[in-house]
């Protein structure tokens, strides 16, 4: 059964406010994208870094100017004292950002402070309290996280299809199966691959059977030494002794 959607007619002022807050949200997302790119990839040229810095400052300035205009409008209606009484943190953050953001252009150690200035100074996220906007933000963050895990996988796959002398890209330009043929022709690799499959299948089967055989008697409240055995299993699960290869690697 379909629900009847009630169309809400907004006034001109309300439509303008919606457009402004959507534009501010877009500025926020683009600014975060610039910050993540600068933190993750350090291989940008100086001109590219300078361009991203300028773009970030412009986006921040747009959000800051919008915040100043909004503060002036609120102060005109109810007075600045009334605004400062309830939103003093936003005003203090706004003044602080006017120092942090320009200083971060010349002091690289202040680059992390830009994230605070974006989330706190122009108060963008607090104006979004509906479910649809929350879903958009949550899905955008999920897509970014998926790309963080999926792009390295594509890089490994592309390196397997690229000849040793070529530059490795996410999408290989000239497909070369030399690496795949070399690996598949190695009997030791195939043997180790088979050992991994065998250990995974047999080890999982033995683990499930042994844990089931241990869990059934421990589920009986009148079993002798039940608490002692439960304590033993809890200690083993929480505190792993580790193995020699891991200790040597660390």
The tens-digit pLDDT sequence of the chain (250 residues) is: 445 555 556 787 778 877 887 788 788 888 888 887 777 766 777 888 888 888 888 888 888 888 888 888 878 888 878 777 777 777 777 788 888 888 888 877 777 777 777 766 556 666 665 666 677 777 877 887 888 788 788 878 877 777 766 666 666 677 778 777 888 888 888 888 889 999 999 999 999 998 898 888 888 888 888 888 888 888 877 877 666 665 655 5
pLDDT of residue 132: 64
In 3-state terms the chain splits into helix, strand, coil percentages (rounded to 5) of 75, 0, 25
CA distances (Å), origin 34, targets 5, 187, 237: 38, 47, 42
77's CB contacts (< 8 A; 6+ apart) are: none
pTM of the model: 0.51
Q: Is residue 130 helix, strand or coil?
A: coil
8 Å CB contact between 148 and 132? no
8 Å CB contact between 66 and 20? yes
Q: How far is CA 245 from the centre of its chain?
A: 31
């Amino acid at each position: 059964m379909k629900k009847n959607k009630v169309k809400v007619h907004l006034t001109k002022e309300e439509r303008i406010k919606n457009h402004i807050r959507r534009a501010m949200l877009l500025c926020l997302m683009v600014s975060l994208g610039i910050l993540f790119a600068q933190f993750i990839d350090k291989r940008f040229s100086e001109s590219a870094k300078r361009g991203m810095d300028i773009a970030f400052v412009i986006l921040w300035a747009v959000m800051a100017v919008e915040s100043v205009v909004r503060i002036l409008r609120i102060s005109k209606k109810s007075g600045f004292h009334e605004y400062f009484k309830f939103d003093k943190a936003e005003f203090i953050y706004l003044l602080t950002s006017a120092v942090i953001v320009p200083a971060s252009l010349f002091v690289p150690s202040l680059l992390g402070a830009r994230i605070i200035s974006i989330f706190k100074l122009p108060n963008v996220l607090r104006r979004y309290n509906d479910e649809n906007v929350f879903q958009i933000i949550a899905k955008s963050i999920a897509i970014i996280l998926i790309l963080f895990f999926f792009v390295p996988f594509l890089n490994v796959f592309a390196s397997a299809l690229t000849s040793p002398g070529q530059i490795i890209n996410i999408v290989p330009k000239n497909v070369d199966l030399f690496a795949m043929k070399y690996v598949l022709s190695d009997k030791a690799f195939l043997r180790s691959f088979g050992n991994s499959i065998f250990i995974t299948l047999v080890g999982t089967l033995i683990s499930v059977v042994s844990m089931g055989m241990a869990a059934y008697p421990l589920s009986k409240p009148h079993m002798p030494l039940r608490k002692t055995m439960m304590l033993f299993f809890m200690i083993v699960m929480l505190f792993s002794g580790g193995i020699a290869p891991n200790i040597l690697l660390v």
